[in-house]
Structure formats: structure tokens, C-alpha cells
Structure 1
Amino acid sequence: MTTRVALAGARGKMGQQIDSILADMKGFEVVARLGRSSSLSEMDGADLVVDVTHPDVSGSIVEHAAKNGTQVLIGTSGWSSQRISELGGKLPEDAGVLIIPNFSLGSVLGTTLATIAARFFSSIEIVESHRASKADSPSGTAVRTAELMAAARDGIGPVEAPHTEQRARGQEVAGIPIHSLRRRGVVARQETFLGGEGETLSIVHDTIDPSAYERGIRLSLDAVQTVRGIVVGLENVLDLGISRS
């Protein structure tokens, strides 16, 4: 059986990469490639919609697809926990949406390690760097990391983040300061800094080339077909060998 795919954002860098991967995978056929001037109706009739567009238009694409009974894979950044919660209230019960803030295996492992460490350190901050043309900040990966770390500290208390009223202290997400750099020559980099009594821990992940996303994209394309409800994060596609609450 062939899965018919509508690819929204097909002309972007990530869209072109996914298009190439789909052409190489058995059992998939791209039946629609949507750009800025495309109508949402162009995705009708597909079995799967892959959304790698812009935060401003991603919501309407996902809602249209899911309400028509189409499975959705979201690779667009900017899906915070609040936005995901709002989406959940608009979708039919049988909808299947898989949201992947970052397709890199190293990135999801870095976020997982940071989440584990968050319970043991009182001081936490994130610095993330991306290409100059990235539209949103903080990045979806940094937001996801902060939210997971804050959730891991439930019952422990908030992190120590002094003077966050000052703009130079970054943007707080779930009580954790995030500092966003946008510069030429960078694909993606995230550093999570944790500090405690007499010691510090840094967890760093560098994306050196977009090929880092390929394995995660392939795994997500296979996994999304059986998703029910809203599932967030590549860690829910992988077998990390650790228990998760």
C-alpha cells in the first residue's frame, strides 16, 4: 500500500530534503507540493500531510488536514506547549498528529540528558544558535527542552534565574532563560548550562550538516502513520532504553 503525501513547504530547505528522502523510501508518493500561494484544498485526498512551513501558517495547515482525517507530521518550529494544547481542543478524536521539534537524533538525546539533569541543579540556562534566516526565536528545540526540564522539576521548585527583568537575560520559557543567537555560518547549536553547589554541567549539541536530520525524518515518516492523538518529540519515536513518566 502506498502512502500519498502532501508536502507543505516543499520549496524550503527542509521541504526539499524531505522530498528527496520520500523519493528514496518505498511505500510513499508525493501527490502535492504546497508553497506560499497554494490553497489548503491541494492537500485534500492525501493520506499524510508533512508540514515544514512557517509558524504563522502551520496551524491552519494542521487543522485543515486533521479535520479531514489526514495524518500530520509537523516539522515546523514554534509549537509551544500552550499552542499544542490549543490545537488539541480543535481536533477530532481520531486525529493523528506527530510534532517533531528537531529531527536530529543527537539533539533529542541532548534534550533527554538535560531533562534528566534538571532535577539535580538549581541554576539552568539555554543558549541556542541558528542560521541568520531562521524566522522564530527561541527555537522550537530550546522551548521543548525548557518545558521538559521544568516539568522534571515539578515538586522541586523553579530554577534560580536572577534579574530576568533585564532584556539581556534572555526570554523565560517555563521559568528558564533562553538566549537566541542568529548568525551566518551556523546550522544549529544548543548549549544547556546547569549549575549547582561547587560544580557546573554543560550539554552541547552541534548540527554540522542537514544530513543529521535524515534518520529522524525517516523514522518519523514511518511512525506518524499509526499515531493517534498528538504526540510530541522524536524521543517518543525512538527506543531510548530509559523509562519516561
Structure 2
Amino acid sequence: MTTKVAIVGATGTMGTLAAGLIEANPEFSVFASLGSKDSFDGMLGADLVLDVTVPGVSQSVVDFAVSHGINVLVGTSGWSGDRILALEHLLRATPDVGVVIVPNFSMGSVLATAFAAMAAQFYDSIEIIEAHSASKLDSPSGTAVRTAELMAAARSGVGPVSAPHTDQRARGQQVASVPIHSLRLQGVIAKQDVVFGGTGEVLTLSHETISSSAYEAGMLLALQAARTATGVTVGLDRVIDLPKLLAARTAADPQRGDEKWAPVPEQVSGQAARVTSA
């Protein structure tokens, strides 16, 4: 059965991308294409609402859809922890309705965030630099906020990061003790660097989106999940159950024993050494 999707924010970049993606997939069809200022009544009759509006409109879209028993996929950033808690409280009265909030549909971005959370346990000095187009209204970005929150959660047994001189405005905005520096520039789609400082070394985890096509795979997965979701789900990592996937990939393969951890064969190592020295 085809899922009828009402796109709210259909005239924007993400809305246009979503419309093309939905029409190209036989699982979905575009039921309605609404602008941020259009009547919300246009959502009525849809199986799923895709919200790709702006922070000031997004909550109203979600409230309307939930009140009419329609599941929502939120692709709008700017949802604070307090707003998400309020949404969870609202959904207790409608347990069959689900809202999936995905600040960033890029698979590379969600992986970079997961890697940052893993690395955060080993460094006390961490800061985030994120850049988006000059038209992006909110800062810091939802991706940067989620990255900071996941790193803080990973450091729960270690403590907050070390961030000196945060009373100075140029030191960025602290989220979960992590300073975030936001750039809004023409010519940029999305870029995030998480910088880890250690004794005698600096590790930088960097991800950059160079085309909006990077969002297609993650958006399709999120649309599929949102159809049957209940409650509140936040992040593409939760949609694809990334922790479980990473654990499965890194677990030892019983068919190979310790072979996968064996050193590089001597002849290969020697070839590499000869190439390097040539």
C-alpha cells in the first residue's frame, strides 16, 4: 500500500529534494505540497507528514499533525531538549502516533557524530566548528547540538570537557559543556569539524556535504521508519539503530577466529616499505 505524504515546506531546497525522492519511490506518493504559510488543513488525509520548514513553524506543524493522529517526520533543525520533552509528554495521550526527528539526513554526518562520541571518551579538550549556508536561520546547527550531547553522554563517567575562557563571547556557545562555533557563509552547504586536543596531538573528525543528494538515502530510511513509528525518535542513528550495527561490524567473526586481527603479511609490508623508500 502506498504511503501518502504531505510535505510542509515543499518550496524549499529540502522540500524539493523530498518531492523528487518520494515520487521516484513506489512505496510513497506526494499527497500535498504545502508552503510554511499555507493552511495546515492540507495535511488532513495524509498517512505521513514530512516537515521541512523552519524552527518557528515546525512545532506548530507537528502539534497539528499529532492532534489529528498523523505520524510526522521532522527534517527541521532547531528542536531543543525542552521542546522534545514537551512533545514526548504530548504523545503520551496518543500512544499510536509517532514523531521522528532527524536534524541531518546525511549518512556520513551520522557516522561522523558516532565516531566523535567514541573518541570523546579519550580526550578532555573538545570543540566543534560547524558551517552552513548564510540562509540557515538557527545556530548552532541541530547536528552540532546532537554531536555535543552524544559526546557528553559518552563522557558521563569521565566528566565534562575542559573548555577554558568560555566567558568570552568569541569562545562560542557551550552545549553540554562543549564549545560550538557557528559559521554562516555563502557557498557552503554543510560542514562540521569536531576537534579533539590531547597531549602532543590533535585529532579532527571532519564531514562536509557537497551536494544535497547526500540526504537522499537517509531521508528514504527515515520516511520508511516514520510510517510505523510510535513515540518520539530523535536522530538518524536511532532510525537505523547505528550502535547495534557498529557492534555487529566490530564483533569477532567466529568462522575466522583471530585471523581478522592477524598482522599484515611480511611480503605485503615489505612491498609497502620499498614503495615508500623509492
TM-score, with length taken from structure 2: 0.85
Given that 1:72 and 1:98 are in contact with CA atoms closer than 8 Å, whether structure 2 keeps it comes out as: yes
1:141 Cα deviation after fit: 0.4
Q: 1:37 and 1:89 mapped to 2: Cα distance?
A: 27
Q: 2:5 and 2:150 mapped to 1: Cα distance?
A: 31
Q: How does 1:76-87 map to 2 (within 5 A)?
A: 76-87=76-87
- Normalized per residue, which structure has more helix? 2
State the identity %: 57
Give SS of 1:36's match.
Answer: coil
Match of 1:63 in 2: 63
Q: What is the letter of the counterpart of residue 2 of structure 2?
A: T
CA deviations over 1:60-97 (Å, ceiling 9, x no partner) = 10111112111110000101222211211122222211
Match of 1:230 in 2: 232
Q: Quick check: 1:139 aligned with 2:141?
A: yes
Q: 2:134 and 2:182 mapped to 1: Cα distance?
A: 11
Q: CA RMSD in A?
A: 1.3
Q: 2:234 and 2:13 mapped to 1: Cα distance?
A: 22
Match of 1:197 in 2: 199
Task: Work out which of the residue numbers 149, 152, 155 in structure 2 matches 1:153.
Answer: 155
1:239 Cα deviation after fit: 5.2
Match of 1:30 in 2: 30
1:243 Cα deviation after fit: 4.3
Runs ≥4 residues deviating over 4 A: none
How many residues are matched?
A: 244
User: Unaligned 5+ residue runs, structure 1?
Assistant: none
Match of 1:41 in 2: 41
Given that 1:67 and 1:95 are in contact with CA atoms closer than 8 Å, whether structure 2 keeps it comes out as: no
Q: 2:76 and 2:18 mapped to 1: Cα distance?
A: 13
Give SS of 1:216's match.
Answer: helix
Q: 1:136 and 1:179 mapped to 2: Cα distance?
A: 13
Give SS of 2:157's match.
Answer: coil
Match of 1:12 in 2: 12
Q: 2:239 and 2:86 mapped to 1: Cα distance?
A: 23
Given that 2:106 and 2:218 are in contact with CA atoms closer than 8 Å, whether structure 1 keeps it comes out as: yes
Q: What is the letter of the counterpart of residue 52 of structure 1?
A: V
Given that 1:9 and 1:51 are in contact with CA atoms closer than 8 Å, whether structure 2 keeps it comes out as: yes
Give SS of 2:180's match.
Answer: strand
Give SS of 1:89's match.
Answer: helix
1:166 Cα deviation after fit: 0.7
Give SS of 2:207's match.
Answer: strand
1:45 Cα deviation after fit: 1.4
Q: 1:122 and 1:59 mapped to 2: Cα distance?
A: 35
1:37 Cα deviation after fit: 2.7
Q: Which moved more, 1:229-238 or 1:171-180?
A: 229-238
Q: Quick check: 1:242 aligned with 2:273?
A: no
Give SS of 2:181's match.
Answer: strand
Q: What is the letter of the counterpart of residue 16 of structure 2?
A: Q
Match of 1:89 in 2: 89
Give SS of 1:136's match.
Answer: coil
TM-score, with length taken from structure 1: 0.96
1:36 Cα deviation after fit: 2.9
Q: What is the letter of the counterpart of residue 80 of structure 2?
A: S
Q: 1:181 and 1:214 mapped to 2: Cα distance?
A: 24
Q: 1:27 and 1:215 mapped to 2: Cα distance?
A: 14
